[in-house]
Amino acid sequence: MDNRVSIAIDGPAGAGKSTVARLVAERLGYIYIDTGAMYRAVTLQALMDKININDETALTRVAVDVDIALRVNEKGHTRVYLNSLDVSKEIRSPEVSRHVSLVSRVPGVRKRMTQLQREMAARCSVVMEGRDIGTHVLPDADMKFFLTASVEERARRRHAELQERGYTLSFAEIVEDIKQRDNIDASRAVAPLKPAPDAEIIDCSIMTVEQVVNLIVTRVSGRFN
């Protein structure tokens, strides 16, 4: 009997998906897969190679050629490796954030990343987060959640996060960036951002991370334990 469980957590930029998914995976003992980090790694490689961000053929080639690995370190944190180099910090730079939605909308890039993500989910129980997990990558996921929050709240969280990492962007710049990313993610031709019909929508605007994690863990434990 196959006891693997797949949990899909989707939502727009800055909704807290990464933090929530990581903590849910830790609580459940599942593997956490940050699909957004994979697209960021492709974007980072494209920027380093000075690829034209509108050249879909070149971007697809980058996605096919690079080696991306997600590994859990001794502290239990997932690190992102690009061609064997730890780029966990570099992929979170404002420059990568500005371009990742443009890169991730390329059909060839999405096809390659989707293939890798499905291969990961086939090996073990996972909590996979992104923008199209429940609708496209794992349409048959056992449970699906869609996290959302107001633009202002998402911008506030992202502003604090970037300040902590030493980046200096104004709140207004981050609000505009999030609005642009939302538009690109929701309007792309392949696997646009939207809740799966069977996903539970959770508005995180006035909820703490702990409250959201507890809610999801309770839902999953109630079904599988």
Tell whether residue 166 is among the known ligand binding residues: no
- Please state, rounded to an integer, the average pLDDT across all residues of the chain: 92
Q: For the segment 194-221, what is each residue's pLDDT rounded down to a tens digit? A: 999 999 999 999 899 999 999 999 999 9
Tell whether residue 76 is among the known ligand binding residues: no
2 — pLDDT class (breaks 50, 70, 90): low
DSSP-derived letter for residue 83 is T
164 — pLDDT class (breaks 50, 70, 90): confident
144 — pLDDT class (breaks 50, 70, 90): very high
Which has the closest alpha carbon to 118: 29, 25, 8, 21? 8
Q: What is the pTM of this model?
A: 0.87
Mean pLDDT of 61-89: 91
Q: For the segment 7-37, what is each residue's pLDDT rounded down to a tens digit? A: 999 999 889 999 999 999 999 989 999 999 9
DSSP H stretches of helix in 29-128:
35-48, 56-65, 94-104, 107-121
Which has the closest alpha carbon to 100: 59, 69, 137, 70? 59
pLDDT score recorded for residue 191: 87
pLDDT above 60 for 1? no
**In the chain, % of residues over pLDDT 90:** 76
Q: Kindly list the structural domains of the chain, giving each domain's residue range(s) and its CATH number in brackets, ordered by start.
A: 6-216 (3.40.50.300)
**In the chain, % of residues over pLDDT 70:** 99
pLDDT score recorded for residue 76: 72
Mean pLDDT of 96-124: 94
Tell whether residue 17 is among the known ligand binding residues: yes
Mean pLDDT of 168-197: 90
pLDDT score recorded for residue 224: 85
pLDDT above 50 for 150? yes
Q: Which residues have a Cβ under 8 Å from the Cβ of 154 and sit 6 or more positions away?
A: 12, 13, 14, 15, 178
pLDDT above 50 for 53? yes
pLDDT above 90 for 72? no
Mean pLDDT of 63-71: 94
pLDDT score recorded for residue 74: 80
Tell whether residue 36 is among the known ligand binding residues: no
Mean pLDDT of 51-66: 97
Sign of CA dihedral 206, 192, 120, 82: negative
Tell whether residue 19 is among the known ligand binding residues: yes
Q: Report the amino acid identity of residue 86.
A: D
CA distance linking residue 37 with residue 13, whole number of Å: 12
CA distance linking residue 110 with residue 133, whole number of Å: 12
